[in-house]
Structure 1
């Protein structure tokens, strides 16, 4: 099937980085749905018909202008996704045409009908893999791998993580378990406790329970973690080591 000549895309309303101290706006106020010309792959590039693209915290920081990369007005946002390769820029990359892939977006973002990537930034995935999982194969997994590698290099025998029921939190628990690092996992809801125990978490504490502070103190005393992986950044996170 020949790709359409244009596409729908979610693009930032502003370019560059936000000024320091600028008030935060809702994501919907920072984006607009536009029709753009379909990107055409150059040599070494691939064109992906996007099936699904996630919304990660890094995406929200990007469209707000507070990420490490400046916004590009008129170019689609979105760092990763999944879809089918429909065109290649040269014969060297043509072998991936027709393949279902997970990808990191390159010259054009993933929040669009089509996105550009390159062979080094995409991985063919089996049809049996859920789209929700295939779309999130890069940003959170690589973040989790880097965090646990740094913790292991620092000689950590235990660590604390909050927001432990998130996709990133679950990955951190599994990777820490493989490395023999004990995890004190903090969640908000009691119903998240058992699934994380089943995943391998050493301790799982629900912060909404009245005995949370007591249980947290006992867990910290037992495991003596020296590393906190903080995904929240609020006073509750600061209180973990108070």
Structure 2
């Protein structure tokens, strides 16, 4: 069995990627309620990049196998999971001794999504993280009874899922992007409110639009100075939820007076914790 191995973490992502190599390992065996999956495809997400750099919440003993999600077919099963043999699945794994950048993985059945035969397996490889992240973020909007949200990195996949789900829920979305061509693309796709972060009047436009639409919830995938600019433009009783750090920089430029006198807060969203909460609830 072959697997991709990260020999050591490296904050220089180029060096981290160049250090990856393919290695042979012993076959895996599923335990109780577990299955052995022959991997069809596994993506590289921002969380994987952070993991390679040693900057993610999950730190494995190195050498380690990267990858947190993928798609494949169940080829073996332990006790209590025999009904899943030959099923096409999307999986989510974070175990110490396993990663999706491998020919085979072992996963607990609770961390699988059984797929319809018609579903494209390449697309299914990206099914376990981005759509669930979007749903978890929108749960916050529903709990807060927010009718408008702000999101940066709006050209990405999580943002696309947020946009679609929010539309279905009757929630307005203010999208923030880095490139003019992304503004054009999103508007062609039907996005109503798209702002360019490099616009000289960006903060003024965002503040005006946030006030008009009562946008008191923001989803931040970037961090850095942009997160601070968004936070400062939001009205009172607002919350910014950080779920990524694409800029690799800490959130900065926050107006502390907003925290003290305008009841504005910053929180974080952790997908594994949300999934565990869902398991407990159901």
TM-score of the superposition, structure 1-length normalised?
0.82
* CA offsets 1:23-78 (integer angstroms, 9 cap, x no match): 54433155332211121212321111111001112222223222222213244221
Superposition pairs of residues 83-98 of structure 1, within 5 angstroms:
83-90=72-79, 92-98=80-86
* TM-superposed deviation, 1:200: 5.6
What 5-or-longer segments of structure 1 have no aligned partner?
1-6
- SS, match of residue 39 in structure 1: coil
Moved more, 212-221 or 147-156: 212-221
User: Which structure is richer in relative contact order (CA contacts within 8 A, separation 6 or more)?
Assistant: 1
- Which residue does 1:37 correspond to in 2? 26
Root-mean-square deviation (CA, aligned residues, Å) is: 2.5
- Which residue does 1:52 correspond to in 2? 41
Superposition pairs of residues 173-212 of structure 1, within 5 angstroms:
173-193=163-183, 195-197=185-187, 201-208=191-198, 212=202
- Which residue does 2:106 correspond to in 1? 116
* TM-superposed deviation, 1:184: 0.4
- SS, match of residue 112 in structure 1: coil
What 5-or-longer segments of structure 2 have no aligned partner?
234-282
Classify 1:62/1:23 alpha carbon distance in 2 versus 1 (closer, same or farther; 3 Å): closer
d(CA) in 2 for partners of 1:185, 1:157: 14
- SS, match of residue 98 in structure 1: coil
* TM-superposed deviation, 1:179: 2.5
d(CA) in 2 for partners of 1:171, 1:199: 13
* TM-superposed deviation, 1:217: 4.3
The number of residue pairs the alignment matches comes to: 229
The counterpart of 1:157, out of the listed 147, 160, 165, is 147
- Which residue does 1:76 correspond to in 2? 65
User: Does structure 2 conserve the Cα–Cα contact (< 8 Å) formed by 1:177 and 1:200?
Assistant: no
TM-score of the superposition, structure 2-length normalised?
0.72
d(CA) in 2 for partners of 1:63, 1:152: 34
